[in-house]
Amino acid sequence: MTAEQLLWTQMPSPLGDLLLVAGDDGLRRILLPEENGPATPDPGWRRDDVALAMARVQLVEYFAGTRRVFDLPLAPRGTPFQLAVLAALAEIPFGTTCSYGQMARRLGQPTASRAVGAANGRNPLAIVLPCHRVVGRDGSLTGYAGGLDAKRWLLRHEGVALADQQRSLFG
C-alpha cells in the first residue's frame, strides 16, 4: 500500500497567500499566512494547480463578494467531536455569527464550549468552514489562526456589524 499523494497550490487573497491542500477525497486544508510569511507546502506534497482550480475559483468568488456558499468536496480529518464541530460550522450562514456556547448547545453538549473552541482552533478548512463566524459570548472577537485582523476582515467582508450589533444564528 502506497501513501496518498497530497496536492497543493497557492493563491493570493486579501488575507495574504493561501495554501490549499487536497487528497484523493477532497480539499483537506486551507492554510492562512503565518506570522513570518506565507504557509509552505510539505516536501512530500505535489503542486497541482489544475486539481485545485475549483477551490481557487470559489475562494476568488468569495473574496469578490459573489459567493456566499462553497460547493467543494471536503475531506477534513479529526476526532468524531471535531468533525461534528466542523459540520456545525458549515451550517452558519454567511454574514451571521454565533458563540462557542451556542454551538455547544446546538451539538447537544451545553457545557462543551471550551471543547468547541479547541475544535474550532483545529479547523483545517478556514474560510470554507467558517470558524471566523464564531465569536465570544459577548460578541467579542476571539482567537483565529490567521490572526484577529483576518477574522475582523472576513466578518466585515460578510457585512457583520462587530460587537453588540451582530446578527446571531442560534439566538
- Cα Rg of the chain, angstroms: 16
For residue 36, the SS3 value is coil
131 catalytic residue (yes or no): yes
Catalytic residue among 127, 131, 145, 155: 131
Task: To the nearest 10°, report the CA torsion of 26, 143, 145, 128.
Answer: 30
Q: Where are the beta strands (DSSP E) in the chain?
A: 7-11, 18-23, 26-31, 46-47, 98-99, 134-135
What whole-number distance in Å separates Cα of residue 137 and Cα of residue 142? 10
Residues marked as catalytic: 131
